[in-house]
Amino acid sequence: MKKVLFLFFISATMASAQQMDRNKRQVVSFIEDNQKELIAISDEIWSLAETAFNEQGSSKILADYAEKNGFKVERGLAGMPTAFTATFGSGKPVIGILGEFDALPGISQKAQPTKEALVEGAAGHGCGHNLFGTASLAAAIAVKNLMEEGKLNGTVRFYGTPAEEKFFGKIWMVRDGLWDDVDVNLSWHPGANTEADVQSTLALVDFKVEFFGQAAHASHDPWNGRSASDALELYTTGINYYREHIKPTVRVHYHIQDGGQVVNVVPDYAKLWVRVRDSKRSGVMPVYKRIKEMAEGAAIMANVDYKISLISGIYEVLVNRKGGEVMQNNLELLGEISYTEEEEAFGKKIQLATEKPQVGMDSKVLPLRETKENPGGGSTDVGDVSWNVANINLRVTTAPIDTPWHSWAVVACGGMSIGHKGMLYAAKALGMTAVDLFQSESLVAAIKQEFIERKGEEVYTPNIPDGPPPIESNK
Ligand SMILES: [Zn+2]
């Protein structure tokens, strides 16, 4: 009798484990069975290489594919023609999956390990967003299939988010409340290693400073001139002196966009784009205030007028470790990505060309790391989403170890099998993690509880000017 009961217990637990595994296995098979089509979509977006707010073709490819797969697609959201959502199912939980698709200007590159533009002077996918958008949508479709077959209940929503590389499109989507009904959000990013990403990013603010003077002949009557570029130089000198007195976590960048046109005219106009970063938004704001005040000092010295305009600002990513553990478990189930000899050789050639040690690809799945207090590195508008909904993040290898990011080398890998493998892997991991969320109410509750605790008293305020996003400024 005891033995029979014991056997019954074993088979019952195995059945429930198998049930869970079956759904995840179906996600994996769906991605593998459709890899040709997914790679074609990713490659098409890679070839288009459209920059921030100009992603009409890329956005349409993904939105059309979602529609073809039975999703309800809403286009042109939050004042951005290329922003869209694709929703399937109804009721709780609502699980979001983020996708990006914009490229970077001036880094066009062929899918080869030596530097050569595909189209001279054109943009390139130097951050792998062709892979990002495609993998995330593939995961959403895999989940939708399970819903259609009655194996999962709830709502899955893919977010087509424009202009991550410039302007940060997600902020306007957040401001319009597009994540308000979402329980947990999933995101990933291409990288040089594979891990459940539990590190934050840097908060930042972008603003434009303009100086207005009086033009005059630079030699005939310079006393009649008031130089906007003098103000610009005095301003950047002030910023550079200030660097000694800012905290080590702060970064200040500026890009001179207009410093006058010709040498024999006292310039009456000058413009620069300034960016302040810190590990937290609360650290960014006082530095932003101080650097804005310096513009007045520079304007007084050069006897010109000035104007400051906020472009946009993003939050640091709010980490969710509980969600990271779920993702980690799925990465361990998937195991590491395996590379062919040709792919390892391609990786080493990239490393040779970028003067890095020729060590090839990082295939292993990293263990879940401690969350650092000061993460350093880059910034992302996923930060703003993560202050509005619990967010789980993933990083997957799509380029060799130490590849210079935002460079031709990343573009090269994103258009060939190294990038494709990372994309398919990410799609599986995101889909499997979504399966876990749909299958466990208590897991979703625990992830949401951690989000509430980490957010604390902070009241999220989107750091953008009133009105529509600056679509026209990047045409
Ligand atoms: Zn990116």
Q: Are residues 207 and 167 located together in one domain of the fold? A: no
Q: Which of 293, 313, 333 is the last residue of a domain?
A: 313
Does residue 464 belong to any structural domain of this protein?
no
69 domain residue, yes or no: yes
- Note whether 355 and 308 are same-domain residues: no
Q: Rounded to the nearest whole angstrom, what is the distance from the C-alpha of residue 189 to the centroid of ligand 1?
A: 6
Grade residue 474 by pLDDT with cuts at 50, 70 and 90.
Answer: confident
In the chain, pLDDT over 90 holds for what percent of residues? 94
**In terms of domains, do 223 and 297 share one?**
yes
The number of distinct structural domains making up the chain is 2
Residues 240 and 328 in one domain: no
**404-443 CB burial, b ≥16 within 10 A, e <16:** ebebbbbbbbbbbebbbbbbbbbbbbbbbbbbbbbbeeeb
Q: How far is the CA of 190 from the centre of ligand 1 (A)?
A: 7
DSSP string, 142-154: HHHHHHHTTS--S
Residue 2 lies in a domain: no
Say yes or no: 297 and 320 in one domain. Answer: no
Co-location of 308 and 356 in the same domain: no
Distance from the alpha carbon of residue 18 to the mean position of ligand 1, in angstroms: 36
**Average pLDDT of the chain to the nearest whole number:** 95
Say whether both 341 and 353 belong to one domain: yes
Verify that 39 and 169 share a domain, yes or no. yes
Do 46 and 166 have their domain in common? Answer: yes
Considering the domain architecture, whether residues 419 and 307 belong to the same structural domain is answered as no
Inform me whether the pLDDT recorded for 12 exceeds 80: no
Q: For residue 137, give the nearest of 424, 440, 394 by alpha carbon.
A: 424
Asked whether residue 118 is assigned to any structural domain, the reply reads yes
pLDDT digits (tens, 9 = 90+) for 359-411: 999 999 999 999 999 888 899 999 999 999 999 999 999 999 999 999 999 99
Mean pLDDT, rounded, for 438-454? 98
- Whether residue 260 is predicted with pLDDT greater than 60 in this model: the reply is yes
Return the pLDDT at 8: 44
Are residues 270 and 327 both part of a single domain? no
Task: Give the mean model confidence (pLDDT) for residues 230-242.
Answer: 98
**Of 450, 379, 445, whose CA–CA distance to 164 is shortest?**
379
Q: What is the Å distance from ligand 1's center to 133 Cα?
A: 11
Q: Which domain holds residue 104?
A: 13-201+316-455
The CA 380 to ligand 1 mean position distance, Å, reads 7
Contact 163, 380 (CB under 8 A): no
CA torsion sign, 425 to 428 to 432 to 437?
positive
Last residue of a domain, one of 243, 278, 313: 313
pTM value? 0.92
Same domain, 186 and 142: yes
What is the 126 CA–ligand 1 centroid distance (Å)? Answer: 8
Interatomic CA distance for residues 82 and 317, integer angstroms:
24
- Residue 472: inside a domain: no
- For residue range 282-295, what is the model confidence (pLDDT) as tens digits? 999 999 999 999 99
264: CATH: 3.30.70.360
Do 194 and 362 form a contact (C-beta atoms < 8 A)? yes
**C-alpha 295 to ligand 1 mean position (Å):** 31
pLDDT of residue 15: 39
Distance 162 CA to ligand 1 centre (A): 11
The alpha carbon of 166 and the centre of ligand 1 are apart by a number of angstroms equal to: 10
> Is residue 465 one of the residues assigned to a domain?
no
Q: Where are the alpha helices (DSSP H) in 314-416?
A: 321-334, 341-353, 382-386, 408-414
Q: What is the mean pLDDT of residues 338-349?
A: 98
CA 474 to centroid of ligand 1, rounded, Å = 18
Could you report the per-residue pLDDT of 63-98, keeping only the tens digit for each? 999 999 999 999 999 999 999 999 999 999 999 999
Q: Is residue 376 part of a domain?
A: yes
- Tokens 């953008």, residue located: 464
Res 475: pLDDT: 76
Quick: pLDDT tens for 463-473. 999 999 999 88
Q: Residue 128 C-alpha to ligand 1 middle, in angstroms?
A: 7
